[in-house]
Amino acid sequence: MDRKFAIEASDRAIRGVAELNDIVKHSKEWGDEDMKKLKRGIGLAIGKIEMDVICCIYNVYRDLDDLKGM
């Protein structure tokens, strides 16, 4: 993958994770079973994006990972 594509893809993936995280923050009612399933699904989706997309990009372009030094 070229650098321009990697930057665009990582930016979009990070925005996607932020949008999913906002869904979780939007509700305080996570007690019933349907909401628990939804929250788990969102968590799994976030993890999948982070591990299979963002980490893949950062393995090629390590300098794009601005959290690496933290």
Q: Contact, 41 vs 12, CB < 8 A?
A: no
**In-domain check, residue 33:** yes
pLDDT < 70 positions in the chain: 67-70
Please say whether the beta carbons of 6 and 64 come within 8 A: yes
Residue 58 resides in a domain: yes
Q: 69 lies in a domain?
A: no
Q: What is the pTM assigned to this prediction?
A: 0.83
Burial 27-59 (b: 16+ CB within 10 A, else e): eeeeeeeeeeeeeeebeeebeebeeebbeebbe
Query: What is the pLDDT at residue 22?
Result: 94
Which residue segment(s) compose the domain that 46 sits in? 3-64
Count how many domains the chain has: 1
Give the tens place of pLDDT for each residue, 16-29: 999 999 998 887 78
In a domain, residue 27? The reply is: yes
The verdict on residue 12 lying in a domain is yes
Q: Is 46 within the bounds of a domain?
A: yes
